[in-house]
Amino acid sequence: MTSTTNAGGAVLPMRVGVIGSGLMGTSIALAAARVGCQVTTWDLDIDRAVLAAGRGGFASAPTMGEAVDDADIVVGGDVPLLSADETLPWARAIAALPDQVYVPLLDLGALSARLTEVST
């Protein structure tokens, strides 16, 4: 793992891949970039990823694989909210991560709303 030390002396991962450019993903990307990490994001909605990256000063990738390929840490988005067709490639990409640390994110409010929608 490549690392860097911030002004406060904390050792941080140098490369962070973020899956998802919504509120949580973009917030994490912004925070990581602010402390000196090299950040690359990806989103199913490529326009949203490009917009967030442009405003936040980090990179966006056209594919999930490119966003996480060289990352030391991968932060992931709301898998349960994806359709079955979208979940399988996502799960395969995560399973293929050789040495990265994967940190899943889950928006419980969105998941609860989705479960309510599906069950009614």
Please, which pLDDT band fits residue 22 given cuts at 50, 70 and 90? confident
- Output the pTM of the full model: 0.68
Cβ-based neighbours of 13, under 8 Å, separated by 6 or more: 1, 2, 3, 4, 32, 37, 71, 72, 73, 101
| Residue 4, domain member (yes or no) | no
- The domain spanning residue 32 has which CATH number? 3.40.50.720
pLDDT over 60 (residue 91): yes
The mean pLDDT value of the chain amounts to 76
Least confidently predicted of 13-22, 40-49, 81-90, 96-105:
81-90
Count the domains in the chain: 1
| Residue 5, domain member (yes or no) | no
Please, which pLDDT band fits residue 92 given cuts at 50, 70 and 90? low
**Structural domain of residue 60, as residue ranges?**
12-119
Contact assessment for residue 79 and residue 104, using Cβ atoms and an 8 Å cutoff: yes
pLDDT over 70 (residue 74): yes
